[in-house]
Chains A and B, each alone.
Chain A
Amino acid sequence: MIIDVPRFVTQERDDWQELEKLLERMEADPYRRLNLAEVRRFHFLYEKTSADLARLSTFAFAPEICRYLESLVGRAYGEIHEAREARSPSSFRKWFTETFPRVFRRHGGAFGVAVAILLLGTTLGGFAVRFDPEAREVLLPFDFPLETPGERVAREEGARKDLLGGKHSTFSAFLMTHNIRVSLLTLAFGMTAGVGTALMLFYNGVILGAIGVDYVMGGQTTFLLGWLLPHGSIEIPAILIAGQTGFVLGASLLGWQSRRPLGERLRAVGPDLLTLIGGLAVMLVWAGLVEAFFSQFHEPVLPYTLKIGFGLVEMVLLFIFLARAGRG
């Protein structure tokens, strides 16, 4: 095909420029909705530019113009053929109180798997400490093995000054960031088809079970509940939700009960994963505040009944929230 390129460009360039400006406006504000006339014009310009590209593609003398038209067609293609709804950012309250619990329930099966694996680890950790005295030193983290539960309770209840040395904010920030990092890693391990996620949950379960049984055997059940429940009633479900995200990702990677191609499956679960991670991050911020400013105070400063009661109320409210909130 013979084309007089300069004349062709002169004839068509106004339309190309109009398409370019329209694309710039759309890209500057992704949530802007075009009216019907604009949509029609945009579609016309896209098809016309596509046709121009097709004409020039057969004419190898104009690579620069082809590259320019390819970039226009590529950008417009994304706008024209995108079928996912551009959800404008909803308010934080609406997202947390409606979207998050709905998404949580939608993937209830994955949460069930996470609970089962954590419980398995907890049982194993508990049995190990109960029946193997050496397991205590191997399984308990940090400086837990250095003293018996009774010694720790006596030290903390007898302390005349703040054991955190007034660094509650720092401790709180450390807990929040550390726990969110661990949760992100649990999600990311979903890319190992969920195997890494399962190992993370199992490991956490083993530690939880080991500590629990150690304190129960040491006769410090009340202290344990008063210490763990206020933050644990939120933190442990948050870790389970992190496991849930990992399993959702792993299942979509494996194509569990789905005939859709991999790209489509991952594309479909992306927003849900983000919602779950965002929701559990909020939960972990709360848990970090409670652990630093509430859980670390024991009798005689704070009665255990108050702490246990607080933890139980949180647990019930969280259960109701996740089970009921956002139902239409």
Chain B
Amino acid sequence: MLAARANFLRFHTPEGITFSLALASPVTRCLASVVDIGCISVLSITLGYFTRALNLFSADLAMAVQLAGYFVLSVGYGMFTEWYWRGQTVGKRLLRLRVVDAQGLKLNFSQIALRNLLRCIDLMPAFYAIGGAVCLFNRRSQRLGDIAAGTIVIRNPIARQPDLDQLAVDKWNSLREYPHLTARLRQHVSPRTAALTVDAIMRRQQLEATKRVALFHELASYFKEVTPFPPEATEGVGDEQYVRNVADVLFR
């Protein structure tokens, strides 16, 4: 039976805080591996062009450099990139994955090296069969190399400080003239809807124009339905501005 997969790994700090890391799925990891195999192939071909130049001096030396170079590339690629990019290879960067310590501590070089050196057993007998099977059965999606090195692979979404200036309404807010209605609005709007509203406002610049209009129209219609305000409070206020006004009264 497959182990119950945890999508998030939660850490409880001694300070009483809980933070979580989202685990990468075996499929995403597989895709990242495909990209990395492609990178190693490209590097090997490039190395081949350089070693061909050595043929001018000695064909024997050129072949030796090619053999040793391919070995170093295939074994060292993961180690070097994961060390240089703090847990990421090219494939992992593209798919926003990262290798981290399984206990949330600092990832050190011996962990990176060990998980890469043990890749040979995960690859056996072919195409990551052992590693893939272990990964599927492991609660934390670890392959054998990860278990030995004490590492996990997580999804690594970019966490930037949200631009709350977009949320703040500096102008006059007509809804504030009706404190009893704003109180009712706060009562009717669930935390989930409020969070969705904030998300919509903060990501509005990334939305396609028509979808942006449709989304804010839907949100505005919903808020107008759950708590109707008098026409003089909403007259001349566009859907997007109305939603921003609602967010303003919800959060202040």
A interface residues with partner B (beta carbon < 8 Å):
4-7, 9-10, 13, 16-17, 20, 27, 30, 47, 50, 53-54, 57, 60-65, 67-68, 70-74, 77-79, 81-82, 84, 86, 166-170, 172-174, 176-177, 180-181, 184-185, 187-191, 249, 253, 263, 266-267, 270-271, 273-274, 277
Partner of B63, one of A47, A79, A173, A188: A173
Using CB atoms, name the residue of chain B closest to A277.
Answer: B117
Q: A4-B252, A30-B106, A63-B199 are in contact. List 19 more A-B contacts (CB 8 A).
A: A13-B161, A17-B161, A47-B15, A53-B19, A61-B251, A77-B19, A81-B105, A86-B108, A169-B60, A174-B67, A177-B71, A184-B120, A191-B144, A263-B103, A270-B110, A270-B111, A270-B150, A271-B110, A274-B117
B interface residues with partner A (beta carbon < 8 Å):
11, 13-21, 58, 60-61, 63-65, 67-68, 71, 75, 86, 100-108, 110-111, 113-114, 117-118, 120-121, 144, 147-150, 157, 159-162, 164, 167-168, 191-192, 194-195, 198-199, 202, 250-252
Partner of A82, one of B106, B120, B149, B252: B106
Instruction: Report the separation of the CA atoms of residues A222 and B94 in the bound assembly, to the nearest whole angstrom.
Output: 59
The minimal Cβ–Cβ distance linking B64 to chain A, given in whole angstroms, is: 4
Instruction: Report the separation of the CA atoms of residues A71 and B162 in the bound assembly, to the nearest whole angstrom.
Output: 13
Partner of B64, one of A72, A81, A173, A249: A173
The minimal Cβ–Cβ distance linking A302 to chain B, given in whole angstroms, is: 20
Using CB atoms, name the residue of chain B closest to A168.
Answer: B60
Contacts of B68 in A (CB 8 A): 173, 176-177
Most buried by A among B11, B16, B63, B121: B121
Instruction: Report the separation of the CA atoms of residues A271 and B149 in the bound assembly, to the nearest whole angstrom.
Output: 10
Contact (Cβ within 8 A) B106 A70: no
Partner of B192, one of A60, A169, A253: A60
The minimal Cβ–Cβ distance linking B171 to chain A, given in whole angstroms, is: 14
Contacts of A181 in B (CB 8 A): 71, 120
Contact (Cβ within 8 A) B159 A184: no
The minimal Cβ–Cβ distance linking A44 to chain B, given in whole angstroms, is: 12
Contact (Cβ within 8 A) A64 B162: yes
Contacts of B16 in A (CB 8 A): 54
Using CB atoms, name the residue of chain B closest to A27.
Answer: B86
